[in-house]
């Protein structure tokens, strides 16, 4: 690992952080220590970094804002790659935005609002980056990224840069082509929005922000909704009907405000959160015979 990091530094591939606690890089505020986080300066640097990792048999993972990940407490003995430098934004024509994968989704929503562009209001409270939102097909209020993404520039597993259309991205409820094709990396996104009235867009954003504050436990670390809603059902409602609000495993707790949130209530570990997720999933399976799909990705549990 040390020789690879020396090359990264020597060739100015990107900023390096070593032996960092992942508590600072995940919204659950859990995780072990990462051997290294690297911030590639551009696409060519990203490609060089991936080649170095592969040649030296070092595991690596793209890390966005950590808002949908659950890390174990074990050390991550590899390189986490953050695309924070992929943060350029430009307007293309009257209603299109071309934006880098590392750009904040909430910030993007506000920028669109300032330009009187509507369609992204649903994203005003989603604390991820654009790349992660596309990967997850993040959404709320009966809308998601699939409604506004026109095309996505990706890096393929064989390190070629290609563009995928909206149709090729295969957006569906909380999933996309990127989830089902590991190794593809979102680099840049073209969004197609529509003209609206700035005051009306601001009002929708304000109203939804207030609704989130009143209905979600935003005062505690979490990763948003834990389970996807089964077809025709609501995960939170099923969990609540089972009387699991307030259920705890160590410092992890099923939120008393919203049953589909598991919160880091009191210095929880990743292991405690995972144990609670699995307990809730098993209880729902036993009661309703429904297999709940976890929205979060478990990292470094092997």
The answer to whether 292 and 235 are in contact (CB under 8 A) is yes
Q: Is 225 a catalytic residue?
A: yes
Q: Is 168 a catalytic residue?
A: no
DSSP element (H, E) containing 288:
helix 270-288
Q: Is 143 a catalytic residue?
A: no
Catalytic residue among 225, 255, 272, 281: 225
Helices (H), 128-254: 130-136, 166-169, 177-180, 198-215, 235-241
- Quote the strand ranges of 89-206, DSSP E: 89-92, 96-100, 117-118, 139-140, 143-144, 149-155, 161-165, 185-192, 194-195
Q: How far apart are CA 81 and CA 68, in angstroms?
A: 16
* Chain centroid offset of residue 147 CA: 18
Report the candidate in 68, 139, 64 with the shortest Cα–Cα distance to residue 101. Answer: 64
The DSSP 8-state label assigned to residue 222 in this structure reads -
C-alpha distance across the termini of the chain, in Å: 20
With H, G, I as helix, E, B as strand and everything else as coil, classify residue 195: strand
Catalytic residue among 41, 174, 208, 212: 174
Catalytic residue among 121, 188, 272, 295: 295
Residues carrying an active site annotation: 174, 225, 295
């Amino acid at each position: 690992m040390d020789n690879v990091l020396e090359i990264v530094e020597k060739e100015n591939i990107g900023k390096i952080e070593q032996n960092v606690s992942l508590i600072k890089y995940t919204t659950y505020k859990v995780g072990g220590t990462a051997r290294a986080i690297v911030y590639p300066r551009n696409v060519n640097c990203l490609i060089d970094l991936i080649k170095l990792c592969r040649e030296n048999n070092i595991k690596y993972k793209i890390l966005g804002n950590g808002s949908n990940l659950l890390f174990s407490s074990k050390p991550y003995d590899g390189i986490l790659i953050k695309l924070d430098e992929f943060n350029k934004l430009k307007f293309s024509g009257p209603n299109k935005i071309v934006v880098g994968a590392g750009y904040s989704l909430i910030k993007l929503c506000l920028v669109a609002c300032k330009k009187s562009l509507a369609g992204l209001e649903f994203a005003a409270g989603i604390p991820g980056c654009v790349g992660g939102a596309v990967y997850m097909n993040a959404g709320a209020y009966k809308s998601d990224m699939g409604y506004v993404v026109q095309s996505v520039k990706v890096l393929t597993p064989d390190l070629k840069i290609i563009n995928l259309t909206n149709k090729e991205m295969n957006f569906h409820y909380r999933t996309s082509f990127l989830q089902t094709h590991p190794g593809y990396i979102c680099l840049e996104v073209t969004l197609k929005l529509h003209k609206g009235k700035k005051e009306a867009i601001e009002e929708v954003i304000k109203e939804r922000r207030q609704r989130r504050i009143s209905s979600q436990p935003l005062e505690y670390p979490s990763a948003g909704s834990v389970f996807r809603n089964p077809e025709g059902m609501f995960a939170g409602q099923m969990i609540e009907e089972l009387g699991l609000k307030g259920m705890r495993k160590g410092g992890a707790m099923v939120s008393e405000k919203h049953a589909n949130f598991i919160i880091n209530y009191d210095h929880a570990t990743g292991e405690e959160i995972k144990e609670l997720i699995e307990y809730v999933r098993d209880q729902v399976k036993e009661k309703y015979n429904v297999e709940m799909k976890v929205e979060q990705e478990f990292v470094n549990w092997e």
